[in-house]
């Protein structure tokens, strides 16, 4: 047995043995983390696709890639079978380095932005809904369940949690955060880490890639840095250190992987380039000041444009370095201190930079050690395969589904109630926005129940932009008048999927009750309305009283909305 295959040896020794046998090309392959397609039938997907010209076999055998992230996937059995086929392919390579698979959140009832709806897994509230419970034990329980479901189908790294603070209410990523309060967010991030990783990463763990360092919440005007119009992060209140605090706590609690965001910081003594390119941030703050020696993986697509179906192009998020060539961007990311490039497949370009003398091979070795260390910690060299039968038993088990359903109900926040809730007797309900809407007309109903989502301003760019709900937070005409007229006609209960801090003073005044949910099934909502469950949640952010108040806020300052409609922590019960 080669030493790197011997589990009785210390991880450091195994890493050095394997590293000493790797070619430059194989080491470079470790440093790229692109998306990969999962076959609907559980098979490997070959040939050109939406993420590039390379099929799975070419990525693994020829480009020497061993880290991938997945998006859509079939049910647990087929997903597990695909994982095993991919690991069999990796085992056939010269050194047999197993593949590490990562994923964005995939346990939500409704997919919003960079997440996937549960497909055969237990279904839970969005992270902002977990924050509404303000319950560290519940968050840890979620993470422990998600860990088991991830490992059952062969997922090893969670591209979450977000430790960002939701101080700018228009930001599209709030739904995946733990809200506005630094103390609450810090406690829940630590609970999340404990549930996914344990006290330290091991063979049963899922490693968390905590993001988006050093805090992506203060986006100028709330626009998102996935897009050029949202590339700037600003600190008019001087609160940079406030946003950094949850990350410091996460590192102290054992975080071993970190992702910097796309945004570029303005008005600070830092280079005004995107965080993934930013040596002041990655090396100066994260590595040197905070002492972090784990994996730093850039956010996706800093170097290459993405050519989308239909012919549109999503430009590389090279904010502040747009004029640099691909080679120069790649070198700047490595020199900033990143170990891995998310969303890219450019090992040949990295090899050229080393061969030309631009980047020393010793720098590649430094990152390779960190990346190999996590593969060994996860036990992938001993147990790369999963059991499809076990995946079926574990994923979405009755116990896990029940826990998620309880959390959906517990996270709901009752904002107003004139006494109509819980519903008494058997009133005739006019249901709108439910999957199965009743046939009862408004004229024949006793009560109207309307499900809506937080408003946003649709963008006219590529389909990626449609996934990010940004812009104004208030209901516009004619929808506002339609809802107000309904509330004047019949007692109306408004159920709002609160993706962002919605502005709705007129509706709060007009409706008999307003219930906020953060990812809840129709069944969960009806249970809450009929009193079969009680809302326990508390607002994880302020609800502003007007768009004028929103625009007057400082992007980096928490709790600075003038005369909020509802304060942080508000919630009624019955």
Per-residue tens of pLDDT for the chain, all 574 residues: 799 999 999 999 999 999 999 999 999 999 999 999 999 999 999 988 888 889 999 999 999 999 999 999 999 999 999 999 999 999 999 999 999 999 999 998 876 555 555 579 999 999 999 999 999 999 999 999 999 999 999 999 999 999 999 999 999 999 999 999 999 999 999 999 999 999 999 999 999 999 999 999 999 999 999 999 999 999 999 999 999 999 999 999 999 999 999 999 999 999 999 999 999 999 999 999 999 999 999 999 999 998 877 777 889 999 999 999 999 999 999 999 999 999 999 999 999 999 999 999 999 999 999 999 999 999 999 999 999 999 999 999 999 999 999 999 999 999 999 999 999 999 999 999 999 887 789 999 999 999 999 999 988 777 788 889 999 999 999 999 999 999 999 999 999 999 999 999 999 999 999 999 999 999 999 999 999 999 999 999 999 999 999 999 999 999 999 999 999 999 999 9
β-bridge pairing 341-342 and 492-497? unpaired
Domain annotation covers residue 331 = no
Q: Is 299 a catalytic residue?
A: yes
Q: Rounded to an integer, what distance in angstroms lies between the CA atom of residue 486 and that of residue 8?
A: 69
Same domain, 383 and 451: no
Q: Rounded to an integer, what distance in angstroms lies between the CA atom of residue 321 and that of residue 306?
A: 17
> Among all chains, which residue has been given the structure tokens 């516009």?
476
pLDDT at 495: 98
Same domain, 384 and 474: no
Encode 521-555: b = buried (16+ Cβ within 10 Å), e = exposed: bbebbbbbbeeebebbbbbbbbbbbbeebbeebbb
Domain annotation covers residue 308 = no
Same domain, 150 and 93: yes
Domain annotation covers residue 311 = no
Query: Do 483 and 441 contact (CB within 8 A), yes or no?
Result: no
pLDDT at 268: 97
Both ends of the chain: CA-CA distance in Å?
64
Query: Two tokens at 305?
Result: 């444009």
Same domain, 380 and 509: no
Same domain, 386 and 471: no
Enclosing H/E stretch for 252: helix 240-252
Same domain, 495 and 368: no
pLDDT at 309: 73
Same domain, 455 and 369: no
pLDDT at 50: 81
Domain annotation covers residue 306 = no
Domain annotation covers residue 387 = yes
Nearest to 380 by CA among 78, 161, 157, 73: 157
Enclosing H/E stretch for 264: strand 264-265
pLDDT at 345: 96
User: Under DSSP, is residue 367 helix (H, G, I), strand (E, B) or coil?
Assistant: helix
pLDDT at 428: 95
User: Under DSSP, is residue 207 helix (H, G, I), strand (E, B) or coil?
Assistant: strand
User: Under DSSP, is residue 306 helix (H, G, I), strand (E, B) or coil?
Assistant: strand
3-class SS letters over 35-82: EECECCCCCECCCCECCECCCHHHHHHHCCCCEEEECCCCCHHHHHHH
pLDDT at 254: 96
Same domain, 182 and 140: yes
Q: Rounded to an integer, what distance in angstroms lies between the CA atom of residue 196 and that of residue 150?
A: 10
Domain annotation covers residue 38 = yes
Domain annotation covers residue 350 = no
Q: Mutual orientation of helices 11-21 and 361-377 as an angle, nearest 10°?
A: 130
CATH code where residue 72 lies: 3.20.20.300
User: Under DSSP, is residue 248 helix (H, G, I), strand (E, B) or coil?
Assistant: helix
Q: Rounded to an integer, what distance in angstroms lies between the CA atom of residue 98 and that of residue 10?
A: 18
**Which domain range does residue 482 map to?**
408-552
Same domain, 480 and 527: yes
Query: Two tokens at 181?
Result: 């309060």
Catalytic residue among 299, 374, 527, 556: 299
CATH code where residue 435 lies: 3.40.50.1700
Domain annotation covers residue 445 = yes
Query: Do 239 and 180 contact (CB within 8 A), yes or no?
Result: no
> Among all chains, which residue has been given the structure tokens 């006219």?
460
Query: Do 187 and 136 contact (CB within 8 A), yes or no?
Result: yes
Encode 167-176: b = buried (16+ Cβ within 10 Å), e = exposed: bbbbbbbbbb
Nearest to 281 by CA among 295, 264, 294: 264
pLDDT at 119: 77
pLDDT at 437: 83
Same domain, 478 and 389: no
pTM, 2 dp: 0.96
pLDDT at 118: 55
Same domain, 441 and 528: yes
The number of domains in the chain is 2
Same domain, 167 and 103: yes
């Amino acid at each position: 047995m080669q030493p790197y295959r011997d589990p009785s040896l210390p991880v450091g020794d195994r890493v050095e043995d394997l590293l000493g046998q790797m070619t430059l090309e194989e080491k470079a392959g470790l440093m790229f983390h692109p998306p990969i397609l999962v076959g609907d039938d559980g098979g490997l997907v070959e040939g050109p696709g939406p993420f590039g010209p390379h099929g799975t076999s070419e990525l693994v055998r020829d480009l020497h890639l061993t880290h991938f992230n997945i998006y859509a996937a079939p049910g647990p059995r087929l997903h597990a079978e695909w994982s095993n086929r991919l690991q069999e392919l990796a085992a056939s390579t010269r050194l047999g380095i197993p593949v590490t698979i990562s994923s964005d959140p995939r346990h939500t009832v409704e997919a919003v932005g960079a997440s996937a709806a549960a497909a055969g897994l237990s279904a839970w509230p969005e992270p902002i809904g977990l924050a509404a419970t303000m319950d560290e034990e519940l968050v840890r329980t979620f993470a422990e369940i998600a860990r088991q479901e991830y490992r059952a189908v062969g997922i090893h790294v969670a591209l979450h949690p977000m430790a960002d603070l939701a101080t700018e209410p228009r930001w599209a990523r709030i739904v995946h955060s733990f809200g506005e309060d630094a103390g609450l967010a810090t406690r829940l991030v630590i609970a999340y880490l404990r549930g996914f990783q344990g006290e330290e990463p091991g063979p049963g763990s899922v490693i968390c890639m905590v993001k988006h360092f050093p805090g992506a919440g203060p986006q100028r005007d709330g626009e998102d840095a996935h897009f050029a119009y949202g590339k700037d992060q600003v600190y008019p209140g001087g609160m940079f250190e406030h946003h950094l605090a949850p990350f410091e706590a996460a590192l102290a609690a054992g975080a071993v992987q970190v992702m910097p965001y796309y945004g570029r910081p303005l008005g600070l003594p830092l280079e005004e380039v995107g965080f993934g390119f930013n040596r002041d941030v990655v090396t100066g703050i994260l590595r040197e000041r905070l002492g972090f020696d784990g994996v730093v993986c850039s956010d996706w697509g800093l170097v290459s444009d993405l050519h989308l179906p239909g012919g549109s192009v999503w430009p590389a998020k090279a904010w502040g370095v747009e004029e640099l060539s691909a080679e120069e961007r790649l070198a700047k990311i490595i020199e900033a201190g990143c170990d891995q490039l998310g969303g890219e497949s450019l090992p040949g370009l990295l090899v050229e930079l080393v061969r030309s003398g631009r980047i020393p091979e010793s720098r590649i070795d430094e990152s390779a050690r960190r990346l190999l260390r996590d593969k060994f910690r996860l036990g992938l060299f001993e147990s790369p395969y999963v059991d499809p039968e076990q995946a079926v038993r574990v994923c979405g088990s009755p116990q896990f589904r029940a826990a998620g359903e309880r959390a959906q109900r517990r996270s709901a926040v009752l904002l107003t109630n004139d006494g109509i809730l819980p519903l008494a007797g058997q009133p005739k309900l006019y249901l709108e926005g439910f999957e199965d809407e009743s046939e009862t007309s408004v004229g024949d109903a006793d009560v109207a129940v309307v499900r809506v989502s937080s408003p946003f301003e649709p963008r006219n760019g590529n389909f990626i932009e449609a996934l990010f709900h940004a812009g104004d937070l208030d209901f516009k005409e004619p929808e506002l008048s339609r809802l107000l007229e309904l509330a004047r006609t019949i007692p109306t209960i408004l159920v709002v999927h609160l993706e962002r801090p919605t502005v709705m003073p007129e509706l709060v005044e007009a409706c008999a009750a307003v219930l906020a949910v953060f990812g809840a099934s129709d069944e969960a909502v009806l249970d809450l309305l009929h009193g079969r469950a009680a809302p326990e949640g508390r607002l994880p952010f302020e609800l502003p009283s007007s768009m004028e108040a929103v625009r007057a806020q400082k992007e980096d300052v928490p709790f600075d909305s003038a005369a909020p409609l509802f304060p942080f922590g508000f919630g009624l019960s019955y």
